[in-house]
């Protein structure tokens, strides 16, 4: 397959408009969209084709409530590390879409899967977690291309999440994702709008 300039421009638009969404509409996502997003993760690269990611679709009130308790505890602990204006700025950030997002996913990495026969990870086992991260990013871009927002909740204690979801031995918590239609459509990241952190352009330095 040879792609043309228009395809490259479309991909750049998807990349440019990808956002870590915090404000969701409560409208449910059609099941066909959920299935398409699930299939999109099949296209993600993975070390040795191990495909170490495991995804739980969090539907029960009890599991969502348990996750919120973990988030609130860690968010309060994080707030306590800031002082002055930075503490006030942190307090006004909306750091999770847990209240309204109609779909929530808990993503784990299997730390020693049989699949892949350990190819490519003997000296760098972290490549399993890299593989899961790429699967999440593939999902993120696929969602954006379908006008669906995705937000990652990272202010969590991994061990507490693993316990809350009764994760099997050998599963390591990697990401908690909120999915749904975004309340707003903006090409300016939230942290830019609030003055928290601007982008630092990527550089490729020669050595």
CA-CA distance, 157 to 175, in Å (whole number)?
Answer: 11
Is 74 inside a domain boundary? yes
Looking at residue 79, its pLDDT comes to 87
- Paired tokens of 193: 């709008």
Residue 178 pLDDT exceeds 90: yes
Is 143 inside a domain boundary? yes
Is 160 inside a domain boundary? yes
Is 18 inside a domain boundary? no
Residue 205 pLDDT exceeds 80: yes
Report pTM: 0.91
Looking at residue 121, its pLDDT comes to 93
Expressed in angstroms, the distance from the first to the final Cα of the chain is 34
Looking at residue 187, its pLDDT comes to 65
Looking at residue 93, its pLDDT comes to 76
- Collect all residues with Cβ–Cβ distance below 8 Å to 31 and sequence separation of at least 6: none
Domain count, the chain: 1
Is 30 inside a domain boundary? no
Is 147 inside a domain boundary? yes
Is 59 inside a domain boundary? yes
Residue 86 structural domain: 44-182
CATH number at residue 54: 3.40.109.10
Pair 150, 180: CB distance under 8 Å: no
Q: How far is CA 51 from the centre of its chain?
A: 17
Is 78 inside a domain boundary? yes
- Give one word for 158, left, alpha or beta, with left for phi > 0 and alpha for psi -120 to 50: alpha
């Amino acid at each position: 397959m040879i792609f043309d300039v228009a395809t490259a421009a479309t991909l750049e638009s998807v990349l440019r408009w990808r956002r870590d969404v915090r404000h969701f509409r409560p409208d449910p996502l059609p099941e066909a969209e959920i299935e398409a997003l699930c299939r999109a993760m099949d296209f993600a690269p993975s070390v040795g084709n191990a495909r170490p990611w495991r995804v739980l679709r969090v539907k029960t009130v009890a599991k969502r409530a348990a996750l919120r308790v973990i988030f609130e505890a860690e968010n309060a602990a994080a707030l306590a590390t800031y002082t002055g204006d930075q503490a006030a700025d942190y307090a006004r950030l909306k750091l999770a879409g847990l209240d309204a997002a109609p779909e929530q996913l808990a993503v784990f990495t299997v730390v020693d899967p049989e699949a892949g026969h350990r190819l490519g990870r003997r000296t760098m086992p972290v490549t399993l977690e890299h593989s899961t991260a790429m699967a999440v990013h593939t999902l993120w871009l696929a969602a954006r291309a379908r006008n669906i927002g995705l937000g990652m909740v990272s202010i969590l204690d991994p061990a507490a999440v693993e316990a809350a979801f009764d994760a099997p031995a050998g599963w390591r918590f990697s990401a908690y994702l909120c999915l749904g239609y975004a309340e707003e459509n903006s090409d300016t990241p939230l942290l830019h709008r609030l003055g928290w952190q601007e982008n630092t352009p990527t550089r490729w330095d020669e050595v």
